[in-house]
Structure 1
Amino acid sequence: MEILTSRAILRPADPDAALVFYRDVLGLAIAREFPGGTVFFLGDGRLEVSATPSGAPDGASGSGGGLRLWLQVRDLAAAHTELADAGVEVLREPRREPWGLHEMWIADPDGTRIVLVQVPPDHPIRRDVRGDRPQGSTSPA
């Protein structure tokens, strides 16, 4: 199976508040809109914010469930300042984690947790491991 793109789907209790948060506060660009929903560019993925019709077959609710969003930013300190200036509550201040990433936690109006991450230049996540495979290998190491 080949995955070409990905998307997180939110069905918030208040779609209008979520739309304002993702579009205006976080400044995500709109990929497309449709009746009852908006799809945002989210780095190399997508985020869909859509209303949940009453009695939806999937039992979706506005609780935010176990969904978490991981958003990589270029400058965590600048993101922290921008979000604080916009009145966003920071759940956990920026800090370097034991695994080497710089992280800060916020939540959207529905309580969905969002981690903002800055990857330092020397972090292994930046290394292209494709070159580490033996010659002629077509599968991941």
Structure 2
Amino acid sequence: MEVLKSRLLIRPRDAEASTAFYRDTLGLAVEREFPGGTVFFLGHGSLEVSGRGETGASPDLVLWLQVRDLAATLADLKAKGLEPVRDARREPWGLDEAWIADPDGTRIVLVEVPEGHPIRTDTR
């Protein structure tokens, strides 16, 4: 199988609230819009918010979003009224992580790769 592009699809209970959350609260760039949905840019992938879900979040689905500065990202989100589900801390595997959730309760892990960590490739 040759994968050319990837996209995660979320079927929210309230599409308007979820679209506003990803666009306005998180500030994700809109990759494209179409009748009934919005696709957001997620670095090397995409997140599509479309359709209508019935069950809400699953604890088995977690979005992992790497950010450049976790403290600044959390401060910005808190200024917008979003309280983390779990504040930032260094995990045993060496990454700094905080948890937030979208309007349906989908957990989103915000990750900063600290200087000196073996997976860090951006030296800024």
TM over 0.5: yes
How far 1:62 sits from its partner (Å)? 4.0
| SS at structure 1 position matched to 2:98 | strand
CA offset digits 1:65-114 (Å, max 9, x no partner)? 23210000000000010011111121110111110000000001110000
| Structure 2, unpaired ranges of 5+ | none
* Greater Rg over alpha carbons, structure: 1
Note if 1:63 corresponds to 2:62.
Answer: no
Equivalent residue for 2:104?
110
Contact 1:89 1:107 in 2 (8 A): no
Deviation string 1:29-71 (CA, Å, 9 cap, x unpaired) is 111111100000011110000023xxxxxxx534122321000
Counterpart of 2:50? 50
Give the total of aligned pairs.
120
Q: C-alpha distance in 1, partners of 2:99/2:74?
A: 10
Using the alignment, how far apart are the partners of 2:39 and 2:91 within structure 1? 31
Which letter does structure 1 place at the counterpart of 2:25?
V
Counterpart Cα distance in 1 of 2:38 and 2:101:
19
* Cα offset, 1:26, TM superposition: 0.4
Q: Is the contact made by 1:70 and 1:115 (CA closer than 8 Å) also made in structure 2?
A: yes
**Contact 1:96/1:103 (<8 A) preserved:** yes
Q: Distance in 1 between matches of 2:13 and 2:106?
A: 11
SS in structure 1 opposite 2:41? strand
